[in-house]
């Protein structure tokens, strides 16, 4: 019965996450949703966060439900170790039953316990050959998590990793499409400027292109910028 309830709950959560793929939401919005759902899904949880690499390759908390989670995470990044980073590096679930008593990362667990956190559970977010990061949840009472919560968070982190990977792929495709569109627009502007020069100076296409190139050199700018300036000035004169 418990397994059926857990499966049904996970199915509902994953449905909400999958729906995000059909919208225009950005990655940061998706990350905030994932952390909020993690708090809902794992019983007893008071805060959740996601650790990822930023564009500079630094480990950061990409989303968190509150400041306490961010402070606990920041200390791990500063020290270079902790349960979240271990889960990330070793691709395994890491559970801390009592931060005040755990001796695996004493420089982290004691200050984290002083923040009011006593239990922690971290799971790697894996989508592909390398883990993307880690999803972690915290609770105030000690011994808040067990094997059931480990199973829940592992499944949830796996789905969250797929979601984030897909969203990133979509954004990369959108950026590439925008770059292609911009390049095509540049070609059209240069083509228009060549036509203007050909009509104005009564020269062929090659001579018109050479004229534009000479102007660009004199102005110390790009061929496209010169073409845009010429097209804009021509339009203004025709108005």
- Read off the pLDDT of residues 155-182 as tens digits, 9 standing for 90 and up: 888 878 877 776 655 555 445 445 544 5
Q: State whether 154 and 209 are in the same domain.
A: no
% pLDDT > 90, the chain? 40
- Count of domains in the chain? 2
Checking if the pLDDT of 238 tops 60, the result is no
Check whether residue 41 and residue 53 sit in a common domain: yes
- pLDDT band at residue 203, thresholds of 50, 70 and 90? confident
Q: Tens digit of pLDDT for each residue in 98-110?
A: 999 999 999 999 9
Q: How many CB atoms lie within 10 A of CB 208?
A: 21
Across the range 56-83, mean pLDDT stands at 94
Q: Is 28 exposed, middle or buried (0-12, 13-18, 19+ CB in 10 A)?
A: exposed
Banded pLDDT at 39 (limits 50, 70, 90) = very high
Same domain, 166 and 94: yes
Task: Name the residue range of residue 203's domain.
Answer: 176-238
The CATH number given to whatever domain includes residue 159 is: 3.30.450.40
> Is the domain of 61 the same as that of 162?
yes
In the predicted model, is pLDDT for residue 66 greater than 70? yes
Same domain, 25 and 93: yes
Supply the mean pLDDT for the chain: 80
CATH number of the structural domain spanning residue 221: 1.10.10.10
Instruction: Provide the 10 A C-beta neighbour count for residue 62.
Output: 22
13 and 120 in a common domain: yes
146/181 same-domain check: no
**Residue 190 and residue 224 in contact, taking contact as beta carbons nearer than 8 Å:** yes
Examine the domain organization and report whether 47 and 112 are in the same domain. yes
User: What's the confidence (pLDDT) of residue 16?
Assistant: 55
181 & 170 share domain? no
pTM of the model: 0.65
Which is more confidently placed, 87 or 193?
87
């Amino acid at each position: 019965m418990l397994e059926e309830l857990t499966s049904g709950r996970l199915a509902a959560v994953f449905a909400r996450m999958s729906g995000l793929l059909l919208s225009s939401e950005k990655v940061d919005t998706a990350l905030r949703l994932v952390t909020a759902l993690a708090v809902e899904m794992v019983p007893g949880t008071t805060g959740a966060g996601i650790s990822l690499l930023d564009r500079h390759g630094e480990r950061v908390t990409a989303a968190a439900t509150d400041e306490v989670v961010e402070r606990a995470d920041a200390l791990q990044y500063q020290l270079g170790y902790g349960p979240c980073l271990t889960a990330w590096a070793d691709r395994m679930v890491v559970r801390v039953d009592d931060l005040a008593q755990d001796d695996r990362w004493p420089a982290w667990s004691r200050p984290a316990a002083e923040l009011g956190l006593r239990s922690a559970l971290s799971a790697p977010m894996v989508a592909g050959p390398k883990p993307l990061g880690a999803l972690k949840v915290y609770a105030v009472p000690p011994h808040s998590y067990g094997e059931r919560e480990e199973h829940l968070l592992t499944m949830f982190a796996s789905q969250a990793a797929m979601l984030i990977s897909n969203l990133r792929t979509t954004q990369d495709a959108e950026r590439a499409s925008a770059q292609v569109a911009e390049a095509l627009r540049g070609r059209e502007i240069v083509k228009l400027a060549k036509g203007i020069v050909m009509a104005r100076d009564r020269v062929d296409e090659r001579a018109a292109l050479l004229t534009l190139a000479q102007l660009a050199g004199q102005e110390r700018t790009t061929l496209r910028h010169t073409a845009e300036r010429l097209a804009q000035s021509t339009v203004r004169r025709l108005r």
